[in-house]
Structure 1
Amino acid sequence: MNKVITDGLVLMPTPFADGLDVWSSGDGTPGSDTYEQSGNGAFVPADQHFDGCLEFIKTDSVAKLRYMGETSVQPGCYLRVTARVKCVSGALPDVRIAGWAGQAGGSHLSGVVETGSSVSLTGYGDVVEISAIIGTGARTGVDMVWADADYGHIGLDFTGANGGVVRVDDIEIEDITGAFLRDMLGIVDVRDYGALGDGVTDDSAAFEAADNDADGREVLITAGTYFLGDSVTFVNQVRFEGTVTMAEEHRLIFQKNFDYPTYVDAFGDEELAFKKAFQALLNFSDHESLDLGGRRISLTAPIDMQAAVNNRTQFETRRVIHNGQFQAIAGPAWDDDAVLAQATYNAADPKELSNVADIGSIQVGSLVTGNGVGREVYVREVDVAASTITLSQELFDAEGTQEFTFTRFKYLLDFSGFTKHSDLILDRVELRCNGECSAVMLAPLGVLFQMHDCQFIRPKDRGITSIGGGCQGMIIDRCNFESDESPTPSHLRVSQCFNTNANDVKIRNCRASHFRHFGVIHGGQAIIANNHFFNGDEEADGVRVAGLVLTTPNCASTISGNYIDNCFIEWTNEHDAEPDVPGYSFGALSITGNVFLSIDGQPSTRWIVVKPYGTGMFINGLNVQGNIFRTYNGSIERVETVDTTYAGLDYSRMRDIVFEGNSFHGVDQTTRNPHLEVHTESSVDATWVVDTEKNLPFGGPARHIDTLVPINAIKNGSNSAVFVQPYAVPEQGADEDEFHIIWPEPVKGEIRYSVRMDDPS
């Protein structure tokens, strides 16, 4: 900043060679005496030290020399006045910069300092340079603070003994505002504290010193590459023109502007910047959230979140990452790793594989597939020394030794390196997998991992993966999942949105399209509410697969208010090492207020499928109420079924099953329990055979007849009314789905009945 350059401001007084009539021996105001008038001054054109100068004899106690021109004084502008003087004979005086401060209209500004520091002339012919700074602000180094001045008459004062003959070189006035610019703008430059920025020298001490001295001002990291050999914390605001480098274990923390854009400026690399920002987030208690600043972070490889932090394997304090985007850049780093290895499984240790071959090649977080392995079983821990693997779930039929495939998907954000990570929130984060990779893998343990308003765009394999108990209490709310497999027929797709292994998850208000599964859920007390997941395709008479897979039989969960579109709910016990254990039941599931839709599906499509993986299973508590079942372009046979691939259900032990208040459109066989209907017997018979016509859930038996209410009179063969009480015999017919009404004599008529296929509480 220089007003002479930018505004054409004229500061320099005219040289003495141009005449002494503008040089006053008074205050410099109009009408004051000049050196030309007084005869006490003379211009000396040639001097040993000066090109041209003013010579005069000091006769007054304070001999003044003032330029009569008005030197402008502007707010924020700082002027340095410089003069060179010498005494050639007589008494040696003192000299100082001085001036007269003026205001608009020509009045004097009183009450301000109008003189600088005095300097003594100590020898004849010795040139002494004196200077002083005039400005409107009371800053360090300013000698004369003229806060309300508009202009000044500037020059010198000579004090001390009289009689000396002095010579004065042309006085210089220059704008040195730039010297105060950093202070004026609140900036401290690290280079002023010894930082070199050569990429080799450790500049961490200089960074700390600059921050300590800033005292509320902004610390400026000017252009260069600064190596930091230790952790550095900035208490003040910091701005980067240059970049820094530091070891993985060292932390860079910004207390005032803790956000991802600052880390990008600091490190100049998007991936490294996020890692260092996350490292700081988990190592500094004053910040609970990391603002990505709406920035896109392009990733060429997965981010190992634990390796980024480096000094922690466990973290359980609330932290938030929000407002940004991660995007996978195509490359080999995203390729799945697959290992085929032999291992032994024993149901006595239901979550362990032993004698694992090639165990050093198997990674934590690998998906395990093989004979007798249920869906979404992952490697939770690897013990190379013991050749054992800890699994996320039990295997239902893998007893003995066989080959398993261990497939490690790659994730944008991978938390599996933590032993436990709790209470992390991803909020308004877009995870653009672009068909290259998966999105998020959770730690093996943790509580309350949350995702709010996030976008999962085209995950190659998985959106969110739990490899253990890290999903305890997990919340997925208002998230959108977009598939990379939309053109693929639904039964050939492989990607899915999420899985869980622990209790108390809440999946709410989400949307998902064209995945194989919306979710595979193991654990109890799950709340699945107000989601829309549709898995249809363009296939005529298309095969449909499960949208939700529940693998905890007695799950104590609710599925309500969802739009379940071209997919179904599958309820299994595939994560049970002993699925044949007697006495264990499905139950405690409520399916209410949902909309089930099928478009162009096969007639064999079902919306509620129970699939036992062992014998002796039954249902104790299933509530299906207030749902809408609807088809377009064809009909389906019924809404529910038992998949008997491995085993059926024990209908004799069914209990507390409610199917009522549902709406059926394009469904051939409705389902009700209790089933209320009217039976008409047109000709007299002592035994009325009543067929429930498969209206009971799962085509179950007519187990209990709750009510028998005649409609109008029951009549005998003489067409006379009879007043007798019948009784019912349940579970008749080949499928036990009929019951008999027994009368004391042959009769005919109509009777309303209520029949159940279960034992009520």
Structure 2
Amino acid sequence: MNKAITEGVLLTPPAFENGLNVWSSGDGTPGSDTYASAPNAVLVPADQDFGSCLELQKTTSTTKLRYMGETPMLPGCYLQIKVRIKAVSGNLPDVRVAAWAGASGGSHVAGVTEVGTSTSLTSYGQVVEVTAIVGPGLRGGVDMVWGPDALYGHFGIDLTGPSGGVVRIDDIEINDISGIYLRDLMSVVDVRDFGAVGDGVTDDSAAFEAADQAANGRKVLVPAGTYHLASGAQFVSEVEFEGTVTMPTDQMLLLTKNFDLPAYISAFGNEELAFKKAFQALLFNSDHESLDMRGRKVAVHEPIDMKAAVPSKTSYATRRVIRNGQLEAVASSVWDTETFVSQATYSTSDSRVLTNVVNVANIPVGALIEGAGVGREIYVRSKNVAAGEITMNAPLFDAEGTQNFTFRSFKYLIDFSGFTKLDKFGMEDIEFQCNNHCSAIRLADKGATFSLQDCFISRPKDRGITSIGGGCQGMLIDRCQFLSSEEPLDVPDRTSIAINANANDVKIRNCRATRFKHFALLAGFNSMVLGNHFFQGDGVANGVRSAGLVIISSFTSCTISGNYLDNAFIEWTNEQDPNPDYLNGFSFSSMAITDNIFLSGDVAPWFSYIVVKPHGTGHFLNGVSIMGNKFRSINGTIDRAERVDTSFADLNRNRFKNVSFEGNTFHNVSAVVSNPLRVRHDQATEAAVWNVKTDGLLPFQGYARNMDSVVPIGPLSDSGGATRYIAPYAAVLEGANFDVVKLSWGQAVKGEANVIIRMDNFS
């Protein structure tokens, strides 16, 4: 680059022979004295070394010579001032290039170096060349660093040392030598050329912005050094970092042309900090909807508080995605679970609040709550320290009164819980490598459609995805793998849970999970669990199994279809109901379990694949479809595919309605249940009343409450062998267990009949 050539900029001052009225004996500023009539200056027309030149006698301690013209200092330009001089007589002085730095409006740029290195003249007649380089940035060989504020200079020389001597000075040359600092002339702009210092202390924000503005499509180079950006910086140009930057937490580095994690790692030199700053920029950068980690692995030494990375925002509602990388927890005591035990009072009148909480200030938001009568996945959603109260994500089923509660605060790789609301945020193609040190993701308090796609949550210590409130509304989890850290443990010893959700409309599709205590606990309505494979067995003969999928709502409107449940079962419960006894409403209703594969091996005979576990009396099934499923036990036979867990209460079988349990297949399952149930009854001896038994083959050991049809197979005959053409009437709910239907024919007959019996009503 040479501005004199490319843009016609005049840099070299006029020759002395053109007049000394433009050469100042001061700083060169307007109004300063010139050498036009000075007694110590004379033009020499024909020096043997210089031709026409200036002869000057040193008469003061510092005799100055400055060109009064304003030599421009252009952005990115470096100028070399070259002077040839020789001593003629008298005392031998020292000489140096010197200048005066001018800013806007003719003001002086204070605090910058305005002199070059001094050279001593040691003999008469010897031509000495004195040079100095001036420019905006601290580059190698630059004598006078003027920064971005200097717009022009008055250049010349100083004579210092002993006075009285006479020197002759050739015409002064000024050349643009910027090219020696540019490794690629057409494509790189260096921030140092715009005043960046890179000492880790000086605020280089303005220099970064100026370099970006000057780049105009070229790449901006941040060379080696540490550059402090007190006000942050935004680049519309591509940036290459050889050095690193520092900045306050609330300031941003916005890289719009190369917005990806590797660029931020290069900028900050620390992977964790880079991830936080890139996330911060993601939430402020309208040019990008996603942050690409570009396959980088970030070693994480402490929980990443995503809200703390963006101090100025408490909520966010525009779609944003982080994708394509790995976050790996590094072993440290910082991941250890914190446990607190505090006394508190619970009342069903305010069913989501604990009151009179002792030492409430010490209990972290997001902590898991445990105690008598506390259901699974109950978390501290918020707290009021002044009032001594904790708000929970869900009610407790049997904890009325005062007791000691245990609060366990798990640590998470990624923690969004500081946000009051986070909508439409997604993470794709990321492995959360927890290494049994920590949990993976904790959601914001509120938010809609958080999504996790094509991700691995590997070996979480306690939890995979935790919702402490409503941040799971409409959550989408697709094609993810959840790999347990508890795989070697027997089922009763496991505590980890892959997913929990409290809000509605959750969709979990095509995922795979290995040997957690539970794969997912879903407490909201309208969830869809489709095409997943989760398995939870162990090597214990006749071993127990835990629920793979827990639905925690009596009315659920849930669809569970096309899944593969391997040594796991579906548990349907109402354990978050503060008044669990049925008083009104729909009870256990609106559930579809269809076309799933259920497989178990080496389990106890009482194991079942679908378990309803009511809390409180009076509950019943209402609008339930269990159809097209494949139930298979290997290495042993189980009693039933379905059952009621009566640990707390039983179902009211007199109120079952709209239950479809048909089209399923059973292998090594003793009770092949169905509703409606087809029974082929063989009456070998004549009887006026036939007792048709269901033999426990109605689902959930339902009562024989209704009949669809009775069709004789072949003729009915009386005691004399005559065929009788008669029809019976039916009496239901017969027998000690209400599982017998009595067919009354009006006379004694024998024969066979297909009888279709139901356990439910339709209204």
Do 1:182 and 1:188's aligned partners in 2 also have CA atoms closer than 8 Å?
no
Q: Does 1:247 align with 2:248?
A: yes
> What letter corresponds to residue 512 of structure 1 in structure 2?
A
Which residue pairs with 1:17 in the alignment? none
Q: Does 1:215 align with 2:207?
A: no
> CA 1:730 to 1:356, structure 2 compared with 1: closer, same or farther past 3 Å?
same
Where do residues 531-542 of structure 1 align in structure 2 (5 Å cutoff)? 531-542=532-543
Q: SS at 2:348's partner residue?
A: coil
1:177 positional shift: 9.6
Larger Rg: 1
Where do residues 90-489 of structure 1 align in structure 2 (5 Å cutoff)? 178-179=179-180, 181-182=182-183, 184-489=185-490
1:84 positional shift: 9.6
Question: Equivalents in 2 of 1:680, 1:727: separation in Å?
Answer: 17
Question: Equivalents in 1 of 2:177, 2:220: separation in Å?
Answer: 22
Do 1:598 and 1:631's aligned partners in 2 also have CA atoms closer than 8 Å?
yes
Which residue pairs with 1:702 in the alignment? 704
Question: Equivalents in 2 of 1:180, 1:752: separation in Å?
Answer: 97
Question: Equivalents in 2 of 1:194, 1:724: separation in Å?
Answer: 108
Question: Equivalents in 1 of 2:184, 2:128: separation in Å?
Answer: 30
> What letter corresponds to residue 747 of structure 1 in structure 2?
V
Q: SS at 2:707's partner residue?
A: strand
> What letter corresponds to residue 516 of structure 2 in structure 1?
F
> What letter corresponds to residue 441 of structure 1 in structure 2?
R
Q: SS at 2:245's partner residue?
A: strand
Do 2:179 and 2:185's aligned partners in 1 also have CA atoms closer than 8 Å?
no
Question: Equivalents in 1 of 2:388, 2:616: separation in Å?
Answer: 30
Query: Normalising by structure 1, what TM-score?
Result: 0.77
Which residue pairs with 1:629 in the alignment? 631
1:127 positional shift: 9.4
* 1:310-342 CA distance string (max 9 Å, x none): 110111110000000000000011000111001
Question: Equivalents in 2 of 1:128, 1:612: separation in Å?
Answer: 102
Query: Normalising by structure 2, what TM-score?
Result: 0.77
Question: Equivalents in 1 of 2:251, 2:617: separation in Å?
Answer: 58
> What letter corresponds to residue 370 of structure 1 in structure 2?
G
Question: Equivalents in 1 of 2:430, 2:528: separation in Å?
Answer: 23
* 1:187-239 CA distance string (max 9 Å, x none): 11111111111111111111111111111111111111111111211111111
Question: Equivalents in 2 of 1:707, 1:368: separation in Å?
Answer: 52
* 1:109-132 CA distance string (max 9 Å, x none): xxxxxxxxxxxxxxxx99999xxx
* 1:446-505 CA distance string (max 9 Å, x none): 000000000000000000000011000000000001010111011220011100001101
Q: SS at 2:267's partner residue?
A: helix
Do 1:236 and 1:256's aligned partners in 2 also have CA atoms closer than 8 Å?
yes
Which residue pairs with 2:596 in the alignment? 594
Question: Equivalents in 2 of 1:549, 1:470: separation in Å?
Answer: 19
Q: Does 1:641 align with 2:643?
A: yes
Question: Equivalents in 1 of 2:481, 2:723: separation in Å?
Answer: 66
1:631 positional shift: 1.1
1:648 positional shift: 0.6
Do 1:423 and 1:450's aligned partners in 2 also have CA atoms closer than 8 Å?
yes
Q: SS at 2:553's partner residue?
A: coil
Instruction: Percent identity, please.
Output: 53
Q: SS at 2:350's partner residue?
A: coil
Question: Equivalents in 1 of 2:621, 2:499: separation in Å?
Answer: 26
> What letter corresponds to residue 724 of structure 2 in structure 1?
V
* 1:271-307 CA distance string (max 9 Å, x none): 1111111111111211110011110011110001000
Unaligned runs of 5+ in 2: 2-46, 51-79, 87-124, 130-169
Question: Equivalents in 2 of 1:370, 1:586: separation in Å?
Answer: 26
Which residue pairs with 1:153 in the alignment? none
Question: Equivalents in 1 of 2:720, 2:458: separation in Å?
Answer: 76
Alignment equivalent of 1:681, drawn from 677, 680, 683: 683
> What letter corresponds to residue 199 of structure 2 in structure 1?
D
Q: SS at 1:208's partner residue?
A: helix
1:527 positional shift: 0.6
> CA 1:85 to 1:404, structure 2 compared with 1: closer, same or farther past 3 Å?
closer
Question: Equivalents in 2 of 1:540, 1:126: separation in Å?
Answer: 104
Q: Does 1:713 align with 2:707?
A: no
> What letter corresponds to residue 484 of structure 1 in structure 2?
S
Question: Equivalents in 1 of 2:595, 2:395: separation in Å?
Answer: 33
> CA 1:342 to 1:83, structure 2 compared with 1: closer, same or farther past 3 Å?
closer
Question: Equivalents in 2 of 1:183, 1:520: separation in Å?
Answer: 59
Question: Equivalents in 1 of 2:320, 2:746: separation in Å?
Answer: 76
Question: Equivalents in 2 of 1:127, 1:609: separation in Å?
Answer: 103
* 1:394-417 CA distance string (max 9 Å, x none): 100111111111101000000000
> What letter corresponds to residue 615 of structure 2 in structure 1?
Y
Question: Equivalents in 1 of 2:208, 2:190: separation in Å?
Answer: 9
Do 2:658 and 2:761's aligned partners in 1 also have CA atoms closer than 8 Å?
yes
Which residue pairs with 1:33 in the alignment? none
1:179 positional shift: 2.8
Question: Equivalents in 1 of 2:580, 2:487: separation in Å?
Answer: 35
* 1:105-157 CA distance string (max 9 Å, x none): xxxxxxxxxxxxxxxxxxxx99999xxxxxxxxxxxxxxxxxxxxxxxxxxxx
Greater Cα shift, 722-731 or 329-338: 722-731
* 1:344-387 CA distance string (max 9 Å, x none): 11111111111111101111110011011110011100111111
Question: Equivalents in 1 of 2:318, 2:179: separation in Å?
Answer: 47
Which residue pairs with 1:746 in the alignment? 748
Question: Equivalents in 1 of 2:746, 2:227: separation in Å?
Answer: 103
Which residue pairs with 1:758 in the alignment? 760
Question: Equivalents in 2 of 1:234, 1:393: separation in Å?
Answer: 46
> CA 1:676 to 1:332, structure 2 compared with 1: closer, same or farther past 3 Å?
same
Q: SS at 2:541's partner residue?
A: coil
Question: Equivalents in 2 of 1:711, 1:581: separation in Å?
Answer: 43
1:176 positional shift: 7.9
Question: Equivalents in 2 of 1:538, 1:710: separation in Å?
Answer: 49
Q: CA RMSD in A?
A: 2.5
Which residue pairs with 1:118 in the alignment? none
Which residue pairs with 1:495 in the alignment? 496
Do 1:686 and 1:743's aligned partners in 2 also have CA atoms closer than 8 Å?
yes
Aligned residues: 608
> What letter corresponds to residue 648 of structure 2 in structure 1?
Y
Which residue pairs with 2:516 in the alignment? 515
* 1:407-457 CA distance string (max 9 Å, x none): 010000000000001110100011000000000000010000000000000
Which residue pairs with 1:150 in the alignment? none
Q: SS at 2:275's partner residue?
A: helix
> What letter corresponds to residue 552 of structure 1 in structure 2?
S
Q: SS at 1:686's partner residue?
A: strand
Which residue pairs with 1:729 in the alignment? 731
Q: SS at 1:309's partner residue?
A: coil
* 1:153-200 CA distance string (max 9 Å, x none): xxxxxxxxxxxxxxxx9xxxx998953745624111111111111111
Question: Equivalents in 1 of 2:448, 2:410: separation in Å?
Answer: 23
Question: Equivalents in 1 of 2:666, 2:514: separation in Å?
Answer: 24
